[in-house]
Structure 1
Amino acid sequence: MTREPPSILLAAGGTGGHLFPAFALAEELGRRGFPVDLVTDMRGDRYGTGFPARAVYRLPAATPGSKRNPIALAKASLTLLRGIRQARALLRTLKPAAVVGFGGYPTIPPLVGAWMLGIPSIIHEQNAVLGRANRALARPAAAIATSFRKTRKLDGPLAEKARFTGNPVRGAVIEAAKIPYPPLAPEGPLRLLVFGGSQGARFFSDAVPPALAMLPEPLRRRLKLVQQARPEDIDAVRAAIAAAGIDAEIAPFFKGLPEIMAESHLIVARAGASSVAELAVIGRPSILVPLPHSLDSDQLENATNLAESGGSWCIEQKDLSPARLATEIGRLLGAPETLAAAAARAKAQGQAQAVGLLADLVQDVIGGESALRR
């Protein structure tokens, strides 16, 4: 007698770096016949992705602050304990075959709850450094999926549970990857994309307009700029870009970002894990500016990995003045062969099969293909 396939619970915080790979895995598990539920924090799906889950549940979570602030630490701990209690109740109701966490403190309640109830867990690390929450959850996990072949702070007994899968990207990214790198005609448009995520758009709003204003007028006339900016910065960015005589689209969020990436000749971005994975799968040259002061310098590690392949140029924010940015953008947009070569090298680093490998790992943990026939 054929039974219904077991469900899988995914746990991800409300940032794109955590939600996008979870989204990709949900799509793939759905194609394989597994019902999928999502548990996230109170930020929820603020990226408007329409997460492909049977249901989305929200649990309280908090990031523990510094030990120097015992009151904040106590409040965060109480919030996490409340989240764990609610997670246990939810897990008893859903009875998933496994819980897959994508890092960040919002994954602690459901994964700790899974450990307490004897439900196998898998953690996925998007960055080139094992994150702090994932370090706390790694020991009881059944398996650890990694996005890079070498992941710092993953050693000893933990390394034995690691499997390289790559960082899953959404179906929209896979579709965008089918678009060839656009040729750079001698007098044709030069398509520049700038995006920075929630923590990076402010810097780019301050640095990009004056940098582009320094470019030679013939180059500015050919520029087609798409730039992400915070709502409070949009008017100022639009005014500065218009004063430079540049055709631009400025918005706080672009829902069809993968297609815009594919249409771009050059991209300036932060080095979050999902951004780097998508740049590689689509195969587009980029100037990566890692978020400074990020925990464990994870964005610097991510950017360095892609830059070492020749698919990107990594410049730390402390070294990137508007004048330096203008020099780099002007140099690269004036070198079509360099950009095309970097696009090919970036694409060679892409892991388009990552989502399938991660889904295979989930099936291995819950009992392989037989899970669909129980």
Structure 2
Amino acid sequence: MDDGRRTTMDRSRRPPAPTARHVLLAGGGSGGHVFPALAIADALIARGWRVSYAGSAQGLEARLLAGRDLPFYALPARPVVGRGFLARGRALLTLARSALAARRLVRRLEVAAVVGTGGYVAAPAVLGGWLARRPTLLFEPNARAGLANRALSRLASAAALAYPQTAAELRCPSTVTGVPVRRDFFAVPDDLPPAPPWRLLVLGGSQGARQLNELLPAALARRSAAAPPLSVHHQSGPQHVEATRAAYAELAERGLAVRVEPFVDDVAGAMARSHLVLSRAGAITLAELCAAGRPAILVPLALAGGHQRDNAAALEAAGAARLLAGDAATPAALAALLDELLAPSPSPLPAMARAARRLARRDAAARIAGRLATLLGEEG
């Protein structure tokens, strides 16, 4: 097995006691799977437990873990869904080999429990924990459970959920905990920054969103020259950087302040500097928006089984966001919505920010840590 171990010491963090419980976290492929795991790690470390992380050596998780005080172990993994018969066969063979490697890793590290936060790399780690007869905990942030978690729930000890209705789709005992969010988001100041200029943050997920990359430049081109000044910080995804910069080129020549990056490492800091966020509507992103107290325009991903639209509608109903879905997500509609929300006085954004923060669950990571402690026979 390729252990792929990386360790970076952060001396500001308390070292665990030699006899502390050891938990293996596993999740990757996108920020939506990695960032909840990091929030759970913080809650477990606060209990004095040891934490290690399993993921793909080629995944986003390897880069994000490189600068943290968490040992990282690489597991081979391939996507199983939607890749053709032969590819699925190879993926299942890789899954079996990786699960056996994960079992050896769990035993060698004397891991007490395994937590899977999603992504195809989480499956072999959870299976390895089950094969090693350790308690396993699944995290499911969406109202509609993913295929992997539905399958793994037949073996898992328990699941932590964001929505109560998800329990009906799983075969293991489930607890509603909310979505764990890193503490940095709760540290964002309540008050929005001074304006103008208005600052717009664009988040299409860790891989970017081609629709947003094309939609926003087209919408801004329709705004009046008399519109209040605006600056844009745009996460384009690593595959779309040059195309997105090209889409903004004419606007930049006309004076638009725009910064395009493949990936925003410090999303909490970027939210703190922003007045408004244009984003997809994944469960993790919405939890981060609520924790930071930032209003949003949400353009849900149409191919996400419908759960992104449901997530966005809930925030809109609470007064925390505005929704542009399906055929309504046009440059003209976005331009009009930006003009409405970025009105100098009275601005609707402070009320939207307050509504977002009222939806935040500060204790989600601690509740998941408590559920894990219960599985291990300790007080939650």
TM-score after normalising by structure 1: 0.89
- What stretches of structure 2 of length at least 5 have no aligned partner? 1-16
**Selected match of 2:334 from 325, 331, 346:** 325
User: CA separation in 2, counterparts of 1:256 and 1:71?
Assistant: 39
- Give, as a single letter, the amino acid of the residue that structure 2 aligns with 1:155: A
Q: Retained in 2: the 8 A contact 1:213–1:244? A: no
Q: What's the secondary structure of 1:36's corresponding residue?
A: strand
Q: Retained in 2: the 8 A contact 1:213–1:241? A: yes
The correspondence of residues 217-228 of structure 1 with structure 2, limited to 5 A, is 217-219=225-227, 222-228=229-235
Deviations 1:257-277 (A, max 9, x none): 212212221110011222111
Q: Retained in 2: the 8 A contact 1:184–1:336? A: no
- Give, as a single letter, the amino acid of the residue that structure 2 aligns with 1:262: A
Summarize the Cα distance change of 1:156–1:329 in structure 2 as closer, same or farther, 3 Å threshold. closer
Summarize the Cα distance change of 1:361–1:336 in structure 2 as closer, same or farther, 3 Å threshold. farther
Summarize the Cα distance change of 1:148–1:270 in structure 2 as closer, same or farther, 3 Å threshold. same
Give 1:183 shift.
5.9
Per the alignment, residue 205 of structure 1 pairs with: 213
Q: What's the secondary structure of 1:350's corresponding residue?
A: coil
Per the alignment, residue 193 of structure 1 pairs with: 201
User: CA separation in 2, counterparts of 1:113 and 1:74?
Assistant: 19
Per the alignment, residue 92 of structure 1 pairs with: 107
- Which is worse superposed, 331-340 or 160-169? 331-340
- Give, as a single letter, the amino acid of the residue that structure 1 aligns with 2:221: A
Give 1:120 shift.
0.6
Give 1:156 shift.
7.2
Q: What's the secondary structure of 1:219's corresponding residue?
A: coil
Q: Retained in 2: the 8 A contact 1:238–1:250? A: no
Residue 215 in structure 1 maps to residue 223 in structure 2? yes
Residue 359 in structure 1 maps to residue 375 in structure 2? no
User: CA separation in 1, counterparts of 2:357 and 2:137?
Assistant: 28
Per the alignment, residue 315 of structure 1 pairs with: 324
Per the alignment, residue 35 of structure 1 pairs with: 50
The correspondence of residues 146-165 of structure 1 with structure 2, limited to 5 A, is 146-151=161-166, 154-155=167-168, 158=171, 161-165=173-177
Per the alignment, residue 308 of structure 2 pairs with: 299
Q: What's the secondary structure of 1:95's corresponding residue?
A: coil
Q: Retained in 2: the 8 A contact 1:20–1:169? A: yes
Deviations 1:7-57 (A, max 9, x none): 001111131001001001111211211110101123342553546454111
User: CA separation in 2, counterparts of 1:22 and 1:156?
Assistant: 22
- Give, as a single letter, the amino acid of the residue that structure 2 aligns with 1:83: S
The correspondence of residues 121-200 of structure 1 with structure 2, limited to 5 A, is 121-151=136-166, 154-155=167-168, 158=171, 161-176=173-188, 179-182=189-192, 185=195, 188-200=196-208
Q: Retained in 2: the 8 A contact 1:101–1:122? A: yes
User: CA separation in 2, counterparts of 1:351 and 1:332?
Assistant: 26
Sequence identity of aligned pairs in percent? 36
Summarize the Cα distance change of 1:342–1:136 in structure 2 as closer, same or farther, 3 Å threshold. same
- Give, as a single letter, the amino acid of the residue that structure 2 aligns with 1:27: D
Give 1:234 shift.
4.2
Per the alignment, residue 3 of structure 2 pairs with: none
Deviations 1:228-266 (A, max 9, x none): 223232430341331443122222122222122122211
Q: Which structure shows the higher helix fraction?
A: 1
Per the alignment, residue 79 of structure 2 pairs with: 63
- Give, as a single letter, the amino acid of the residue that structure 1 aligns with 2:44: L
- Give, as a single letter, the amino acid of the residue that structure 1 aligns with 2:220: L
Q: Retained in 2: the 8 A contact 1:65–1:76? A: no
Q: Retained in 1: the 8 A contact 2:150–2:170? A: no
Summarize the Cα distance change of 1:270–1:157 in structure 2 as closer, same or farther, 3 Å threshold. closer
**Selected match of 2:251 from 233, 241, 244:** 241
Give 1:282 shift.
0.9
User: CA separation in 2, counterparts of 1:46 and 1:195?
Assistant: 21
**Selected match of 2:357 from 343, 347, 350:** 347
- Give, as a single letter, the amino acid of the residue that structure 1 aligns with 2:178: G
RMSD: 2.2
Per the alignment, residue 17 of structure 1 pairs with: 32
Q: Retained in 2: the 8 A contact 1:13–1:103? A: yes
Per the alignment, residue 107 of structure 1 pairs with: 122
Q: Retained in 1: the 8 A contact 2:26–2:116? A: yes
User: CA separation in 1, counterparts of 2:57 and 2:65?
Assistant: 16
